[in-house]
Amino acid sequence: MAPVTGEHVLSGGFARQISKQPTVRPVDQREEYAAREGGAIYTLLTWDPKARLNGTVVMRLYDDENRPLLESKPKKTDLTPGDFVFTQWQVPLPSRPGVYRIDVTLDAAICWRGFFRVTE
């Protein structure tokens, strides 16, 4: 597993929903979900760039055996210091219990990594 080398993410996590009123914010933020809940979860990041970030961002989902399960479409990004930008990806909740990992990369560098658990 490659190390996390990014320093431009202020916070990251998982939530069942994203509220857009009155501001964008996670709803029901947690790191453990029951498979019977079904549906999807959101992976969300708040960026706080320390330098200009111009590149492509990709989110990847892995299972507990480090097998890739899902990869987002690449998103072009161009952020400057002082920008606070919120990025989200909707991820289908895996039906098999286990620990799952999400890596977010900016070009080749992993800038954030998070883990969540799916129970029966």
Question: How would you label 35-51 residue by residue, b for 16+ Cβ within 10 Å and e otherwise?
Answer: eeeeeebbbbbebbbee
Q: State the Cα–Cα distance between residues 42 and 92, nearest whole angstrom.
A: 9
pLDDT digits (tens, 9 = 90+) for 15-31: 999 998 888 889 999 99
Dump the DSSP string for 93-116.
PPSS-EEEEEEEEETTEEEEEEEE
pLDDT digits (tens, 9 = 90+) for 86-100: 999 999 999 999 999
CATH fold of 9-119: Immunoglobulin-like (2.60.40)
What are the residue ranges spanned by the domains of the chain? 9-119
pLDDT digits (tens, 9 = 90+) for 40-74: 999 999 999 999 999 999 999 999 999 999 999 99
Q: Would you say the pTM of this structure is higher than 0.85?
A: yes
Strand-pairing partners, residue 88, are 44
11 pLDDT above the threshold of 80: yes
